[in-house]
Structure 1
Amino acid sequence: MTVFPDDHRDGDLGGGTGGGAGGEAPDPLEQLLRPQVEFLAVPSGAFEQIRRRAARRRRVRAAVGGGTAVAVAAGALYLAGSLSSGGADEEVGPPASHARTTSAPATTGTPAPQPSTTRPTAGGHTSRPPAGGPGTTAGPTKGSTVTPTPTGTGTGTGTTPMCTADQLTPSLGGSDAGAGNLYRYLVVTNHSATACHLTGYPGLSVLDANGRQIGQPATREPSSYQPVVLQPGDAASDTIHTANQMGTCLPESAKLRIYPPGSRASLVFAGQITICNDEFAITPFAPGTTGNPPS
């Protein structure tokens, strides 16, 4: 309560029985402006949660610090190893500028026997061994390539070039038949003034009068062969094998086209061949004019 100096209704100043410092009663306005503060109670388990979080933070900091230490140590070891090598590493394998040669192992032992060729004749069946005898190279089948090695029998192919199409004159020679098969001899003659040689199979197809191919080119009958040296005027021959009017027959040819062995140039000449029963094959070249094997 406010006391004025001229107010003597309650007695002298500082008199009376009140609260406060002089025994005055507490001021109500002060109670409104300064209320008593009540502190909230600590939630249950708060301290335990704070301790667990602090422990997790400590473990994370320890793991990060350990990983960093390990990485630093590994980097130091790698750097020390690189610096200590001094260029003394061993070189493995030849340098890039060196050529590497691989040689095939030599073949030893007795060569496998070659299949024999059986050709029927007009008077019956006659079995003939393959031409060339021992030491010849087995002939390739369709789509394969074989390069035979001269056997030192006086062929002279070491200095004799391969015959070109310009040096050869082709023609059809004699024939043979039996047991539903037809055999016709394909003959080539060296008309040039120099010697040359033939090795292996020619390419052969039959044509109509307009030069259009009839059917497929001839396949290759497996047979042994050797290089055939042709002096000027000499001839070599092989055998064309067809069926004797059996099964389905194609039109008879008017011409034949031959590619000499190893040549990209062809020769076309007159000749009549009929392909029947899808049988059209040829043997490799052999000396003479009576086919391979010779009749």
Structure 2
Amino acid sequence: MRRLLLTTLAVALLAGCATPRNNYDPLEPVNRETYAFNRALDRAILKPTATAYVEHVPQPVQKGVRNFFGNIDDFFSTFAALLQFKGTAAVHSGSRVLVNTTAGIGGLIDWGTGLGMRKGEEDFGQVLGFYGVPSGPYLMLPLYGPLTLRDTVEPIGRYFMGPLDFIDSDAWDVGYYSLYLVDSRSKILSLDTLLEGQPDEYAYIRDAYLQRRWASIHDGHPPYALPLGDVDDDGDEDNDFDPGPTDPPLAEAASDVAAAPVDEAASQPVTEAASVPVAATASEVAP
């Protein structure tokens, strides 16, 4: 599994040198094929399984599972916040982990929210963005879904440092990730109608994901709208891949785009939809 993941990312790195059809999606033909594969797998297996899970598993059990994975999110969010010098966010996330892991029986019960501890949303892709690492090309990974090359650090880090890293058991791995996938998919079943109503699902998901990540790097207040960079009519391309918040090319582009921040409310539903359903994944290769 690990070898497959690393091989896929290596291929994406090499292919990223190709001339892009737009700034962020140089691999669009391959990405679209991957999207179609993920979508077919979702319709055949993941969506029916998630639907049965919602309809037949008792609500308290579903809530406990969701809390368990949320607690793991908080654990990683704590370190990501610290690396970005976000002390308050780190304290809240770390406190949630401490309380929910102990009094919450391994994270099955969420006491932290009731105690006023805010849930963090930091990740290691944001950490790299904070330090100016370029996003790199947009990727649609098999059995995972949408990412940028920079954001692959998050699932890789979670996979190699996750709760099962010290348990040498294929059965545990399969059970853990299968439950994670089903739980993640169950949270966005209501968004299927929105997604299927789009004339181009792939482009809708891609653009929403990129804008959402751009907003996340700037904590919801990007300095300007993300220039998606389609090829101009005269054949010239806009600046290459997003080089991060302080890189000169995008700073120059800022004068040519709207200064208004990205509308997170508009992008959130489809971004959530993009992260799992189309990505029938052993995805989120990990909490």
- Asked if these proteins are the same fold (TM beyond 0.5), I'd say no
Q: Decide which structure has the larger Cα Rg and report it.
A: 1
TM-score calculated relative to the size of structure 1: 0.23
The structure with the largest strand share of the pair is 1
The structure with the largest helix share of the pair is 2
TM-score calculated relative to the size of structure 2: 0.24
